[in-house]
Structure 1
């Protein structure tokens, strides 16, 4: 059974009581016969881990958290024998800020 907190609006008397979900809320203070109000506190359930949020299941986020990214420093600290060379990194084409068609002079 859940425990509910009540406080009197007249004398300030506060107490907790176990009630069933189907029981009616208390309205009269047992100390002064004043009016009672329910006191709400923070939720006692905390959801941790993946799968509880709307953005957890989105596809195409661009990153995969289960596979770590390899860095260039990993190959220098490798414990592999010296006779096996590390694979060279692929060369990237230089990025251009202007389109290739705009760089060519117009044929006239």
Structure 2
């Protein structure tokens, strides 16, 4: 069930309430009996890990980075050696 955040217009108390999506929004403050307003708060949704964007679904730079034409340097190379493909 989602958690909704409310703020009282009189006592300015901010509180959270766990409600079903189908439940009507709260209108009365339980502390002072005044009206409350539903707040828009930050989501608890986080993208973690490799995600879809690492698989080539995003635009631009990830497609270029994954192409075979990109020049990658060996770990010990600085790009100035004669055997490195990046120096040519």
Q: Same fold (TM over 0.5)?
A: yes
Q: TM-score, normalised by structure 1?
A: 0.52
Deviation at 1:43, TM superposition (A): 2.7
Runs of 4+ in 1 over 6 A off after TM superposition: none
CA RMSD of aligned residues (A): 3.2
Task: Report the counterpart of residue 82 of structure 2 in structure 1.
Answer: 76
Normalised by the length of structure 2, the TM-score is 0.61
CA distance in 2, matches of 1:14, 1:36: 9
Does 2:34 match 1:28?
no
Larger RCO, structure (CA 8 Å, separation 6 or more): 2
What is the match of residue 42 of structure 2?
42
Gapped regions of structure 2 (runs ≥ 5): 74-78
Larger Rg: 1
